């Protein structure tokens, strides 16, 4: 496991895997004519699925690090949170580009804006673009650590919006959103449970320590 963790901790390996996913599921099927009767529609669906799973992956890393702080594998993956988050944005942009191509012309594209799932998709994608644009050290220094962290908590908003976008898209992919939403809820519940349990134990230990210091000690004369 330590060997796997060391390999995954390498930035070049991480970038190769993140790019390789797109090459394997999008590029190779496109150049080998394996996309079926409607290639653009297939690319539209697959790119959207990759984007949502990438977002789910990056949101899973922080809870996993809290739950398994000593795991070499989890710590190795957490080194690439920014890369994974930016990849989610890039695949989201690919998905949006496929949507534009899928509509065919401006009239159909404008007509698609009358559907709620389009707006939810745009809102989620806009959040991802903002987060990707600020996923660098310059933005952290410019915004300050606290404001930067607060801004990047919008990733949870993006996840909810995009899961709902996929749910109401009407393309039969609700099962993907269902499993992703269930997984994220389990992780967040476990993380919060551990956080509050740890806090409760610390307060209990402090209360016991204070109680010990307040117990009056008997003098030797009284003990006689």
Q: How confident is the model at residue 90 (pLDDT cuts 50, 70, 90)?
A: very high
The secondary structure of residue 217, as a DSSP letter, is P
Q: How confident is the model at residue 221 (pLDDT cuts 50, 70, 90)?
A: low
pLDDT at 218: 54
Tell me the whole-structure pTM to 2 decimals. Answer: 0.86
Which token pair is 194? 């551990």
Which token pair is 78? 């957490």
pLDDT at 220: 54
Which token pair is 53? 């799973």
Range scoring the smallest mean pLDDT among 17-26, 51-60, 95-104, 171-180 = 171-180
Distance between CA atoms of residues 222 and 41, nearest Å: 89
Torsion of CA 136, 188, 160, 78, to 10 degrees: 30
pLDDT at 168: 83
Q: Which helix H or strand E contains 192, and what residues bound it?
A: helix 174-214
% of the chain surpassing 90 pLDDT: 55
Q: How confident is the model at residue 117 (pLDDT cuts 50, 70, 90)?
A: confident
The secondary structure of residue 26, as a DSSP letter, is I
pLDDT at 174: 64
Q: Are 201 and 218 in contact (CB under 8 A)?
A: no
pLDDT at 126: 96
The answer on pLDDT for 224 being more than 60 is no
pLDDT at 127: 96
The answer on pLDDT for 219 being more than 70 is no
The answer on pLDDT for 69 being more than 80 is yes
The mean per-residue pLDDT over the stretch 191-210 comes to 87
């Amino acid at each position: 496991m330590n060997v796997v963790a060391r390999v995954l901790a390498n930035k070049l390996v991480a970038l190769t895997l993140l790019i390789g996913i797109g090459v394997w599921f999008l590029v190779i099927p496109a150049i080998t004519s394996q996309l079926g009767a409607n290639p653009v529609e297939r690319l539209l669906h697959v790119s959207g699925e990759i984007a949502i799973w990438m977002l789910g992956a990056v949101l899973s890393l922080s809870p996993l690090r809290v739950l398994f702080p000593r795991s070499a594998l989890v710590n190795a993956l957490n080194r690439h949170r920014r890369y994974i988050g930016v990849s989610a944005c890039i695949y989201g942009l690919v998905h949006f580009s496929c949507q534009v191509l899928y509509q065919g012309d401006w009239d159909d594209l404008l007509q698609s804006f009358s559907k709620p799932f389009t707006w939810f998709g745009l809102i989620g994608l806009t959040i991802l673009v903002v987060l990707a644009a600020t996923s660098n050290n310059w933005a952290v220094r410019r915004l300050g650590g606290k404001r930067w962290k607060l801004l990047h908590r919008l990733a949870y908003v993006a996840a909810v919006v995009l899961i709902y976008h996929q749910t109401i898209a009407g393309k039969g992919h609700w099962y993907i959103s269902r499993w992703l939403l269930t997984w994220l809820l389990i992780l967040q519940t476990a993380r919060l449970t551990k956080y509050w349990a740890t806090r409760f134990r610390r307060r209990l230990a402090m209360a016991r320590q204070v109680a010990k210091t307040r117990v009056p000690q008997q003098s030797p004369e009284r003990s006689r």
